[in-house]
């Protein structure tokens, strides 16, 4: 008999995987493997994460080439589903350049293939490079994007619910496969989509795939409060994270939702060493590998797609017009940071080269676990989205050093209790 779930609250942990790791110079680190096929690297990483009992792995996405080429997330997670058995699999898919019937099919299929481990990170696309791959001169404006996203979600959610319990009769002798009275058309007609349904993929083993969101704007938060199971967020300080956490829990209460029906999970960029000094050395090694060109490109992207290559590296950030190309809140944050601490362009890109504005901790397993525990116990987080500096080494450090420390403190599971992602996350 499986032991009962622990009576006390535990952390959720997901691993946010980027091709070579999150640090902008990760690919140059001796640890990263450029020679093996990408799938082999991911397979080893995800199997390690599963051995550590993580809730899920998570893949971001972009519909344009920014950085190293990688694999399309749903395709990749589906392959990973076949070589794992318990860990959740969360992929990003945009509502701006996809069709809801297609996305509903993909995630229902991933959920079926993985026996209930799929999650969908619903995003909108906000940059010109993606727009240019989908026949648009400019990215779609914020309001239209979110209106489309909201309707997109309603359609996908409706399609996922098209098969009532008992719809599959499977009566060979009687000649009835489906009970048509339990299979429902959607017949959605809205401003952005008309979708008849029903879906042509079997229903999700976990009821429906877990819904993740990460929008931080007012509109993004409102949509997440209405619909999401998990919110990923970038918060640099405990106070900011607490404010965000309070805000989101308040918003869901407004929708009549229980506090634990939404998991708030800030990203954490942790560089872990056997000693504090070793951790600092690891971080310094990565910082030393930043090519000015790569640093400038990252900063330019995060500040609203501006070309900074004409400005002196050791001079101040120039006055920039308010970006029309997404990333407005990130632009404000970084401009304020540069002005407040009087940072040069180089110092600013060095500051974001790892955690990109996320919670950053450099230290021993105990130091990292202390910080995580503080955020968890002081109303700032239900768990963390781990952002390993390099792959596989940067993740291995966390799994090998920090996770056991959290387990010793009773803050994280030592074995999976359930089989679905929804169950790992403690969601109904």
Residues 177-216 binding a second copy (CB under 8 A) are 177-178, 183, 193-202, 205
Which residue of 39, 157, 347, 370 would you call a contact of a second copy, by CB under 8 A?
Answer: 39
41 is a contact residue toward a second copy (CB under 8 A): no
Residues, the chain, total?
A: 428
Distance CA 344, CA 263 (A): 37
Cβ at position 124, least distance to a second copy in Å: 16
| CA–CA separation, 131 and 122 (whole Å) | 17
Q: Which stretch binds a second copy (CB under 8 A): 6-14, 176-184, 344-352, 382-390?
A: 176-184
Closer residue to a second copy (CB): 180 or 410 = 180
Enter the DSSP assignment of 380: S
Residues 120-139 within binding reach of a second copy (CB under 8 A): 129, 132-136
Own/partner long-range contacts of 133-139 (Cβ < 8 Å, ≥24 apart): 133/63, 133/64, 133/97, 134/63, 134/97, 138/325, 139/96, 139/325, 139/326
- Name residues contacting a second copy, limited to 98-117 (CB under 8 A): 98-99, 101-102, 105-106, 108-110, 112-113, 115
Alpha helices in 166-291 (DSSP H): 218-227, 238-254, 276-288
Going from the C-alpha of 16 to that of each of 58, 240, 272, the distances in angstroms are: 5, 21, 16
423 is in an annotated binding site: no
- Annotated ligand binding at 22? The verdict is no
101 is an annotated ligand-binding site residue = no
CB 91 to a second copy: min, Å:
10
State the minimum distance, in angstroms, from the CB of residue 395 to a second copy.
19
Smallest gap from residue 377 Cβ to a second copy (A): 39
Q: Restricting to residues 149-168, name those near a second copy by CB under 8 A.
A: 163, 168
Question: Chain centroid to CA 101: how far?
Answer: 22
217 is in an annotated binding site: yes
DSSP per-residue string spanning 64-98: S--SS----HHHHHHHHHTT-SSSEEEEEEESSSS
Site for a second copy in 274-313 (CB under 8 A): 289, 291, 293-294
Distance between CA atoms of residues 381 and 374, nearest Å: 9
Residue 333, CA distances (Å) to 61, 235, 246, 353 in order: 23, 11, 20, 15
Does residue 400 contact residue 30 with C-beta atoms inside 8 Å? no
Specify the residue, 200 or 275, whose C-beta has the smaller distance to a second copy: 200
Task: Select the span of 38-46, 239-247, 267-275, 278-286 touching a second copy (CB under 8 A).
Answer: 38-46
Choices 50-58, 80-88, 298-306, 354-362; region in contact with a second copy by CB under 8 A: 80-88
């Amino acid at each position: 008999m499986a032991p009962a779930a622990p009576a006390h609250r535990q952390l959720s942990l997901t691993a946010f995987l980027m091709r070579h790791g999150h640090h902008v110079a990760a690919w140059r680190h001796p640890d990263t493997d450029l020679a093996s096929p990408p799938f082999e690297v991911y397979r080893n990483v995800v199997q390690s994460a599963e051995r550590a009992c993580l809730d899920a792995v998570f893949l971001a996405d972009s519909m344009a080439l920014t950085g190293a080429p990688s694999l399309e997330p749903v395709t990749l997670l589906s392959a990973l589903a076949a070589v794992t058995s318990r860990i959740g699999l969360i992929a990003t898919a945009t509502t701006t350049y996809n069709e809801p019937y297609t996305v509903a099919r993909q995630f229902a299929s991933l959920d079926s293939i993985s026996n209930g481990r799929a999650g969908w990170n619903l995003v909108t696309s906000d940059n010109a490079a993606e727009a240019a791959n989908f026949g648009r001169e400019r990215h779609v404006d914020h309001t239209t994007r979110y209106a489309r996203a909201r309707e997109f979600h309603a359609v996908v959610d409706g399609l996922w619910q098209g098969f009532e319990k008992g719809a599959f009769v499977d009566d060979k002798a009687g000649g009835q496969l489906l009970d048509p009275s339990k299979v429902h058309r959607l017949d959605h007609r809205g401003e952005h989509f008309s979708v008849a349904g029903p879906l042509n993929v079997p229903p999700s083993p976990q009821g429906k795939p877990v819904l993740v969101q990460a929008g931080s704007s007012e509109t993004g938060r409102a949509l997440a409060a209405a619909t999401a199971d998990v919110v990923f967020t970038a918060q640099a300080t405990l106070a900011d994270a607490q404010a965000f956490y309070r805000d989101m829990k308040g918003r869901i209460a407004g929708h009549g939702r229980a506090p634990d029906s939404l998991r708030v999970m800030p990203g954490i960029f942790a560089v872990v060493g056997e000693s504090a000094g070793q951790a600092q050395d690891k971080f310094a090694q990565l910082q030393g590998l930043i090519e000015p060109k790569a640093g400038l490109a990252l900063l330019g992207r995060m500040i609203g797609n501006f070309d900074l290559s004409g400005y002196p590296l050791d001079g101040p950030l120039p006055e920039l017009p308010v970006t029309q190309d997404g990333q407005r809140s990130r632009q404000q944050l970084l401009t304020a940071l540069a002005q407040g601490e009087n940072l040069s362009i180089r110092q600013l890109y060095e500051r974001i080269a790892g955690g990109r504005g996320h919670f950053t901790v450099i230290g021993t397993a105990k130091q990292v676990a202390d910080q995580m525990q503080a955020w968890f116990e002081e109303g700032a987080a239900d768990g963390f989205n781990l952002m390993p500096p390099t792959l596989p080494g940067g993740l291995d450090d966390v799994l090998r050093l920090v996770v056991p420390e959290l387990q010793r403190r009773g803050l994280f599971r030592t074995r999976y209790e359930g089989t679905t992602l929804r169950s790992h996350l403690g969601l109904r």
